[in-house]
Amino acid sequence: MTMRSAASAIASVCLSFAVATCAQAQPAALNVDDIIARHIEARGGADAMRNIRTLVFDDGTYSEGDYVGDGDAVMMISRPYYKLVGHPERDPGYMEGYDGAAWEWFADPGVVVRTVGRPSEAIRHGADVESAFLDYAEKGYTHELIGEALIDGKPAYQVRSTAMDGTSGDSFIDKESLLVVAARAATPIHAFGAAVERESRFGDYREVAGVLFWFRDETFQIATGERLSGMQWGTIEANVDIPEAWFSPPEFERSRIQTFIEQLYIQRADPPSVMWTYHAFRRAYPGESTQVASEVAGFQSLKMGAVETAIVLLEQNAADYPDAADSAFGLGRAYATVGRTDDARAEFERALRLEPGHVRATRAMADLDN
């Protein structure tokens, strides 16, 4: 072997050794389970999370557009899967919750609505004191590492989560703090209508019972950058004793018209049955106004996807109360939801003729024009 070939052989061995050494020195890429495990540890650890029985989010200030709340919003979560938005003693005017099935309560006109579809998703999601990451397989979630992204100029892991009901969204876990700093999903703004791509930003993390929780979130429309809503919690308490009954709709004695609303809503999948009940009630009780009741039942049916029922009921209501601007608006909203833009515009214009300056009709007309 010549000196040159020997040197080449030695150099080759040294190069191979160096490459192997460098390869061994490089840390292995994290998989999604590694990232989730580090995230859970950063929040306080699995044991601390499992020690939380209940959570009470209180003194919350909700904002949406020009609206800013009074700073008294409240939400409660309890094992095994209970959730309540609102407070049955402090302000029972409107509440929504999950007790194994999603519900909404409207003190005026006094009706409980058991929701399905997208409105149910909005209520039942998040009814978990531990988040969707801890023990996720047992809860029916799957998680996938999509890659990395910059959030406020800082790198974050992008993790796509899919729930057992098929809904999915992306969480962004900051690479340094390992906390969730943002989330993206496509959902309707108000429970029905077209899905909107949105991003929520989370901050103001504080420790509660040994676990870090965000106290602030803001949601933006991705396409335009428009701020859609925000929430700033004042306090979050853990392991507060909460009566289990609070997580179910309030019990109340129904008036004749409240029973009528529920009957219309319960039959929403069957338009002929709804209209039979409608006409039978009006014949039996000619002195009872059915205007507001029909608007409520029609809107809730629309939210649940019972579009045919909503339209025929609201059309009849508008015909029976031709001088009511709210009835014209309600029918226009139903038409707009199914893409009957010209019919929707005509009803919104009629509402504005009946009541100049009608706020919701004015806003709806602007939405049609955008």
Whether 326 and 242 map to the same domain: the answer is no
Which domain does 201 fall in, by range?
46-130+197-247
Give DSSP secondary structure letters for 343-363. HHHHHHHHHHHHSTT-HHHHH
Confirm whether 204 is domain-assigned. yes
User: Measured between alpha carbons, how far apart are the two ends of the chain, in Å?
Assistant: 82
Token couple for 268? 């929403």
pLDDT of residue 306: 95
**Is there a single domain that holds both residue 232 and residue 98?**
yes
- Tell me the per-residue pLDDT of 320-369, one tens digit each, with 9 for 90 and over: 999 999 999 999 999 999 999 999 999 999 999 999 999 999 999 998 88
In a domain, 330, yes or no: yes
For residue 84, give the CATH number of its domain: 2.50.20.10
pLDDT confidence of residue 8 = 39
| pTM recorded for the entire structure | 0.83
Domain count, the chain: 2
Judge whether 92 lies within some domain.
yes
Q: Please state, in angstroms and rounded to a whole number, the distance separating the CA atoms of residues 133 and 44.
A: 13
Look up the CATH number of the domain holding residue 353.
1.25.40.10
Claim to verify: residue 264 and residue 236 sit in the same structural domain: no
| Distance (Å, whole) CA 329 – CA 361 | 6
Integer Cα distance of 50 and 44 in angstroms: 11
Residues of the chain with pLDDT under 50: 1-26
Residue 303 is assigned to a structural domain of this protein: yes
Same domain membership, residue 351 and residue 276: yes
Residue 241 sits in the same domain as residue 364: no
281 and 355 part of one domain:
yes
CA–CA separation, 129 vs 136, rounded Å?
13
Do 229 and 355 lie in a common domain? no
* 106, two tokens: 């409207």
pLDDT of residue 92: 79
User: Is the Cα torsion angle 335, 341, 345, 346 positive or negative in sign?
Assistant: negative
The C-alpha atoms of residue 90 and residue 87 are separated, in whole angstroms, by 6
Give the angle subtended at the CA of 319 by the CAs of 318 and 325, to the nearest 5°: 35
Query: Which residues on neighbouring strands pair with residue 64, listed in sequence order?
Result: 67
pLDDT number for residue 28: 65
| 112 shares its domain with 222 | yes
Looking at residue 3, its pLDDT comes to 32
| One domain for residues 241 and 279 | no
Q: Is residue 57 part of a domain?
A: yes
Q: What is the predicted pLDDT for the residue at 190? A: 58
Judge if 208 and 335 occupy the same domain.
no
